[in-house]
Every structure is written in structure tokens, then in C-alpha cells.
Amino acid sequence: MRDRIAFALGFAVMLAAGASAHHNMSAMFDFNQRFTETGTLSKVDWRNPHIYLTVDAKNEQGQAVAWSFEGPPPVFFRTREFSREDFEKSLGKEITVEASRARDGSKAGLIRELKLADGRVISACPQNC
Amino acid sequence: MRNSRRLIRSSLALAWAAVIAVPGLALAQDVSAAERARVEAEQRAQAIERNARENARQLTLLDKQGKVVATVGQRGLYNQPVLSPDITRVAVIKADPVKETNDLWVVDLASGRETQISTSKSREPVQAPAWSPDAKYIAYVGLRGSRYGIYRKLSTGAGDEELIYQHLGGPIVLTDWSLDGKVLSFYASDLSGSTLYLVPVEGDRKPIEVTHSESQVVAARLSPDGRWLAYRSNEKDNRDQIFVRAVPAPGASKDAPVGKWQVSTEGGEGMVWWRRDGTELYYFGPQRGVMAVEVRAGQDFEFSKPRLLFRAPPSVPATGNPGAFGSVSRDGERIVFVVPPSQPLRQLTLFDRTGKVLSKVGDPGIYNQPSLSPDGSKIAVMRLDQQTDLTDIWTYDVASGRGTAVTATREGENAPIWLPDSQGVAYVSARNNANAASIYRKAISGQGTEEQLFRYTPGAGMVLTDFSADGKFLTFDGGGIILVVPLTGTDPLKRQGVDFARSEYEAGLGRFSPDGKFIAYGSNETGRFEVFVRPFDAAAASAAGEQKWKISSDGAMGGITWSRDGRELYYLSEDRPASEVKVMAVEIKASPSFEAAAPKVLFRLKGPLPGNPGQWKISPDGQRFVFAMPVETPGTK
């Protein structure tokens, strides 16, 4: 930390600042607990400092489970030429998310990689890996 | 010509203009995706150019006395240099910011010829190179897809990279290749601590856990005989030191006592290296000291008092991760650094409204984010101590130039903001190696204890940007969003930040108007960064409705500041073709309804300005403007 905490350089690099973590990822998510869920994308919350996707999947008993997946900020995707609209086109359709599991045992994860309904794959690494 | 026309047009535009007052969403839709992409690409290119200019490093070989033996090749965005066992080549990570790659290269020390070893995809970085003892191979950590792996490749660059081990968890750090060539050592850290593993280079390649520490250890490296582990840790008194611990024998009980020794005495900042014969180890000490410790390892671990070999070049960071900037050869006789450019000294300089220099305050130094006190008598500023690499908050008396340290800590502080009474300064720091940044305030005399005002989410970055004139609110940037904190109650840990601006676009640099009814801020919602004003609802500590006004007309780089009477807003804009920074002023009328005139240029400064000028509050009254100007390129045009 020291003198380098939150040392934004102004507007020109606020894009990068937007990509900075909003909380301690390794405290909330266990990077050693990787899992994959496939389900229907039911909600896209496309805001800073992190996007959230809600995915309705089924557990081993066939019961519906709503998973909340956290991802990098919107600018992360903009610079990779993925827009909010690209995600919204997958609403109601099947997507697959590979994530690190929430430490508190909730149905939540930190996105490492995801596949949209159109088959395109987006990596959230190295930020989230 | 185009810029000249813009200047004339904006200078002549004195009539009040009713500016944009539409919801942000509509505003955002005014800009096509293509235009947004173009502007963002342009800004990215500018950031890359600046990064290259300020950070390109020179490969430099030194002897054990610190004498420069050779500078090698051209400057580049180098990192983590490691000498080959025969000291004829350097393995080094080189960044290509345009392609967004970090790849492994080998540089021949005699000729400077570079050979690319790894060829990674964008955003799949390579790091932590380690030479095989015969120099035939180099191993490294690579991110491939969403998985980290240890790979090796011929040091000639020929052939494909070979996966040795794939790690399914978080990041790993490769530290060494054993002298017999049989195993690689790497460590992984998480909340449970740090674990050192050995992975065989041939055979089943299953990693073996060597030792686990409940505290976080950095740069763990085994002695050549595999009996001792040297590492950096803050496990004692929260201060980084170098430790050596015995490696438990295979099959030993986890509860068996393990010997452990603190090797450094005055702090240890970085990587540890062992000499090939195991009789000496080296590490980075405080103030860039390259330290040596003699080792006599019998049944027990015995060692000498650390001695200073020499100090690393002054532009190498003294804290953080200096190990990323240099390493020691296997025989302990040569040290290689990637040496960054020196930071130019800066002079605190006051300008009048026309850009004429009024005075220079204090001695030249590495200053950042200067701001005049509300009463105009003092300047608060971040000052970097080049010896310790720590940043503290200082104030300078404008009349006498005398400086006073407000803070003097190992943690460092940043983002100073004056309190309304000019008697204190608020700033950001993380105390006691805590993972959470907090906002504090302290008297400008430096006397007395600091008061914690607010603590943010652990792990989150924050930039304090303003204190309201009535002292009831502060505002800060929290990762592309603006939050306001009502300073209610007496328990700082119970105070909560309230969203003022949060959308899919980045917002920041919020500044309260003097009457507390508005906040000016920056956002890229139109496709590039511009200055906006929104009404502030003090009762809710958030924006009052969706209305907003766009203040700047041709982009902005920050420096947003209200005049004390609230009748003008200032900001900085960059004229890149001319390499100038424009100081802009906008007349404001807040009642009966908010109106803003067209921006006009007050004066121009030779750019680029070093540091973080976007965050600066440039003037309290519109008559005197303060900047930290590079000593080499002073003056205005």
C-alpha cells in the first residue's frame, strides 16, 4: 500500500482506476475453489465498480438456484469490445460461468471466465484469477 | 489552426448559456459506440505513451561494490530481470502495452541482442523466470485462459512452451530451479497463509508441499541444499523483515518445532537470493540497500550481522517490491537492475490569473497534489522522500517557504484535502498494514494525534477529493464511483458512504460547491471525460434528482475547483498537439437557476504536468493558482 494507495492520475486514467478492486477479492472468494455453473441469465446489473450477473441454475436435486456472479467493472469489458448489450442479448438464454466460490457459502462467485449464449467466451483474468 | 479557432471561440463566448440539463442516459446515447470507442482508444494510446515515457527502464549490470559494469540495450518496459548462471544473459519480462502482453525475453549482455522466448496472448501475462542450472531452459509462470501454469522453454526461444504444472487456484510465484536441475520451487498465498511447493521437472510432476506458514510470506526461496527457507514477512511487529526457517524433514510431524531466525535487523524490503555454495544470502534492505549475510549452516543455522554492499540506483523503488527491479547472480558477484528514469524535481509555483509566476515556494522536491489553504496562506502537498520512498503530507508557508511535516509514517499518506478552517488537513492512509484504507484528519502543525474519520471497504482503493465547506461531508472516489460520507456520530467505523454517482461509466473528482448545494465532478459518460455539475441533497447525502449540467466543452483532465464565492469553476484541459495544459474557467450563476457560461482559457502551462494533476484543487479564489512544475521545464507560455 504505502504511498501508492489510490493514486489516480486524473481523468485520463480513471478508466484504469475504474478497474481497481472495490473490495478484497481473496477475502470474499476462495480462488482455490473453482466451480462451473450453467443456467439462464436472468439479470444484468451493469454498473461500477463491479458488474453482477444473476444466473438461474438447477442443483443436483433439480431445484432452481439463483447464483449471483460478480465480475470486473464495465470498462473492463468495453476495452475487450464487449458491451452491456452483448450481455443483455443473453438474457433468458443459457450461459456458462466458471468462478471462484464465495467464502461465506452463499450462492455467489467471482467470475473467472464465462460463455455467452452466442458462444463467445470472455476471460476475467488476470484481474479475477 | 483548429485549436486556435477553438481558443478564440471559447475566449469570446461570454454570454450565459443554458447548458445540457438532461438525464445522463440520454446524454450517453448522444454519442455513438464508434465515437466512444475512438475516444477511449485515443485516451488509451495517450496513457500508453505516457507510461512508456515515464517507466521505460535500462538494464544495468553492477558489481558487488555497486559499480556499473554495463548498461545493456535500449530502454524498455522491463521487469523481473534474472541473470543466467554463467552471467552472459538476462531473462527479463518485457511489457508491450499496445498488445497488452507481458512476455519473457532473453537479452545478451555483450551485444544487447534481444530474443523473445514466450509468445503470449493479450492479457495472459508471463512472470517469475528461473534459469535451469545449465542455462538450457527457462521456466516461468504463465496465465493461459483462466489458469496459471509453470512452463519451460528453451532459452534460445526455439520450440513450443512445455507445461510442467497447472495450478487450479490463484496466482503462484516461481522462485527457483534447484542446482541439480530436478525440481522447481514455487509458492502460493491465500488467506490461510503461504505454502511453498516443489514440483519435479520430470516424471509425474506432482507438487510436494514443503512448508506452510500461517503468515503471508513473500519471495520464499530455498537454500541450495534445500534445508533452509529464506523469505520476507511482516509476521513480527507488522514490519517487513527477512527470515530464515528450517525446512521440516520429509514425513516430520506438523507439530514438530521448527527453527526460525530473523536475519535482517533494520527491515527487509524484497527478494532473497542464495549464493550457489550456500555460504551467503542477499536481500534488499531499507533505503535501497543491497545487503549480504554470511551463512554457516551446520546442524543449526548461523549467520552474520547483515552488511551493506551498496545502494541501488536512486530511481529504483525503495519499497513495495524492489525485487521486481533486480536480482543477484548465482555466484553473488553481479547484480542486475532494470533502472527506471529519475523523477524530475518539481517546484511549488504560484501563478496569477494570467499565468504570470507570482512566487516559488519552498525547495524543489518530488511534490504531488498541491493545494492552497482556503485562507491562501499555506500549501498542502504530498511529498515523496526519495531515500525512503515514502510519501507524507507537508504544508508550506507561502510567505516564508518554510515546510512542516503533517505526517511522518511508514505507511505513507495521500490525497490531502484542506479542512474548511485552514487549520487541518484530511488525507488517506492504511494504518498498521491494514487492508482497509481510511480517511484521517490532523492539525497542520503535525502535532497531536490524527483523527480517523471514515474507513472504507477492505481491499478497496479510495481517493479523497473534497470536504464540504460546512465540514459536515466528505466525498471520495471509490473505483469509478463517487461516494459522499456524512460525518455524523462519533464512531468513524459506523459511518457509511452514500452513492452520489454510480453508473456504467466512470465518475470521480467530486468537489462541493461553497454553498453545499452542488457537486462538480468528472465523468466519461459522453464518451470522453468532461466536467459536470449536479445538485447535492444534503439531507440524503446524495444527488438531488437526475438533473445535471455539462460544464466543459472540449474534454477535461481534472483539476476541478470552485472559486470561494462559487461564481467560477476551474478545471484543466489538455492540448496534446501543443503539449500544453490549459487552465480553464467557467462563470457560474447558481440562482435563481443554475447556469454555466462557456469555458474560457485563463492561461496555458507547458505540459505534461508530472504526477496526478487531475486530482489537484488548483485555486481557492481564482486569483492565485498553484502547481508543482517540473524544474527542467518551468514557465508558461
pLDDT tens column, B515-573: 999 999 999 998 889 999 999 999 999 999 889 999 999 899 999 999 999 999 999 99
> Nearest-CA residue of chain B relative to A112?
B146
φ/ψ of residue B323, rounded to 5: -60, -20
Judge whether residue B393 has pLDDT over 60: yes
CB pairs under 8 A between A and B: 202
Judge whether residue B356 has pLDDT over 90: yes
Q: How many distinct structural domains can be found in chain A?
A: 1
pLDDT at site A14: 41
**Average pLDDT, rounded, for chain B:** 89
* A129 falls within a domain: no
Q: In the structure grid, which three cell numbers stand for residue B470, read together?
A: 460546512
Residue with cell 542455462: B135
Judge whether residue B37 has pLDDT over 80: no
Cβ-contact B295, B276 below 8 angstroms? no
Q: In the structure grid, which three cell numbers stand for residue B520, read together?
A: 462538480
Q: How far is it, in rounded angstroms, from Cα B584 to Cα A128?
A: 39
Judge whether residue A6 has pLDDT over 60: no
* B635 falls within a domain: no
CB contact under 8 A, B479 and A17: yes
Residues in chain A within 8 Å Cβ distance of B462: 5-6
Specify whether B212 is located in the same domain as B105.
Answer: yes
When pLDDT is averaged across residues A8-37 and rounded to a whole number, the result is 64
> Nearest-CA residue of chain A relative to B409?
A2
Residues in chain B within 8 Å Cβ distance of A25: 459
CB contact under 8 A, B502 and A48: yes
- Other CB atoms closer than 10 Å to residue B359's CB: what's the count? 12
* A99 falls within a domain: yes
Specify whether B365 is located in the same domain as B332.
Answer: no
pLDDT at site A22: 61
Partner residue facing B477 (CB), from A8, A100, A113: A8
* A128 falls within a domain: no
The fraction of chain B above a pLDDT of 70, given in percent, is 93
Specify whether B155 is located in the same domain as B281.
Answer: yes
Domain boundary residue among B339, B374, B397?
Answer: B339
Three-state SS for B587? strand
Partner residue facing B461 (CB), from A5, A25, A98: A5
Specify whether B315 is located in the same domain as B376.
Answer: no
Q: How far is it, in rounded angstroms, from Cα B414 to Cα B376?
A: 21
Judge whether residue B10 has pLDDT over 60: no
Edge-first strand order for the sheet with B241-246 is B217-222, B228-233, B241-246, B260-262
Edge-first strand order for the sheet with B424-429 is B414-418, B424-429, B438-443, B451-455
Partner residue facing A48 (CB), from B37, B479, B509: B479
Judge whether residue B362 has pLDDT over 50: yes
When pLDDT is averaged across residues B304-323 and rounded to a whole number, the result is 90
Instruction: Tell me the longest C-alpha to C-alpha distance in chain B.
Output: 86
* B350 falls within a domain: yes
Partner residue facing B615 (CB), from A1, A8, A78: A8
Specify whether B437 is located in the same domain as B451.
Answer: yes
pLDDT at site A19: 37
* A54 falls within a domain: yes
**B430-465 residue pLDDT tens:** 887 667 899 999 999 999 999 999 999 877 889 999
Q: How far is it, in rounded angstroms, from Cα A92 to Cα A88?
A: 9
CB contact under 8 A, A10 and B479: no
Specify whether B67 is located in the same domain as B51.
Answer: no
> Nearest-CA residue of chain A relative to B610?
A9
Judge whether residue B186 has pLDDT over 80: yes
* B637 falls within a domain: no
Residue A33 Cα, gap to closest chain B Cα (Å): 7
Specify whether B380 is located in the same domain as B256.
Answer: no
Q: In the structure grid, which three cell numbers stand for residue B270, read together?
A: 524484497
pLDDT at site A5: 29
Q: How far is it, in rounded angstroms, from Cα B409 to Cα B431?
A: 9
When pLDDT is averaged across residues A108-121 and rounded to a whole number, the result is 96
When pLDDT is averaged across residues B611-615 and rounded to a whole number, the result is 91
Specify whether B46 is located in the same domain as B25.
Answer: no
Q: Among B557, B554, B48, which residue's Cα sits nearest to residue A79?
A: B48
Start-to-end Cα distance in chain A: 20
pTM: 0.85
Judge whether residue B128 has pLDDT over 60: yes
Residues in chain A within 8 Å Cβ distance of B507: 48
pLDDT at site B298: 77
Partner residue facing A2 (CB), from B125, B390, B457: B390
Buried b / exposed e along B227-249 (16+ C-beta atoms within 10 A): ebbbbbbbbeeeebbbbbbbbbe
- Of A72-86, B228-242, B461-475, the one with minimum mean pLDDT is B228-242
* A80 falls within a domain: yes
CB contact under 8 A, B509 and A11: yes
Q: Which domain holds residue B65?
A: 57-339
> Nearest-CA residue of chain B relative to A49?
B479
Q: In the structure grid, which three cell numbers stand for residue A91, read together?
A: 438474457
* B140 falls within a domain: yes
Q: Which domain holds residue A108?
A: 2-123
The complex's ipTM? 0.84
CATH classification of the domain holding B444: 2.120.10.30
Partner residue facing B481 (CB), from A6, A13, A48: A48
pLDDT at site B84: 98
Residues in chain A within 8 Å Cβ distance of B148: 129
CB contact under 8 A, B190 and A47: no
Give residue B114's pLDDT band: very low, low, confident or very high (50, 70, 90): very high
Q: Among B503, B573, B501, which residue's Cα sits nearest to residue B29?
A: B503
CB contact under 8 A, A2 and B44: no
> Nearest-CA residue of chain A relative to B46?
A12
Bridge partner list, A114: A97, A122
When pLDDT is averaged across residues B216-221 and rounded to a whole number, the result is 80
Q: How many distinct structural domains can be found in chain B?
A: 3
Q: Among B287, B296, B280, which residue's Cα sits nearest to residue B266?
A: B287
Judge whether residue B21 has pLDDT over 90: no
When pLDDT is averaged across residues B169-195 and rounded to a whole number, the result is 89
CATH classification of the domain holding A56: 2.40.50.140
**B152-161 residue pLDDT tens:** 999 999 999 9
The fraction of chain A above a pLDDT of 90, given in percent, is 67
Residues in chain A within 8 Å Cβ distance of B169: 31-32, 34
* B215 falls within a domain: yes
Specify whether B46 is located in the same domain as B100.
Answer: no
Specify whether B525 is located in the same domain as B601.
Answer: yes
Residue A19 Cα, gap to closest chain B Cα (Å): 7
Q: How many residues does chain B have?
A: 637
Specify whether B7 is located in the same domain as B154.
Answer: no
CB contact under 8 A, A3 and B391: yes
Specify whether B298 is located in the same domain as B280.
Answer: yes
How many separate helices (H) and strands (E) can be counted in chain A? 4, 6
- Other CB atoms closer than 10 Å to residue A61's CB: what's the count? 6
**A45-82 residue pLDDT tens:** 999 999 999 999 999 899 999 999 999 999 999 888 89
Q: How far is it, in rounded angstroms, from Cα B431 to Cα B440?
A: 10
Residue A57 Cα, gap to closest chain B Cα (Å): 22
* A118 falls within a domain: yes
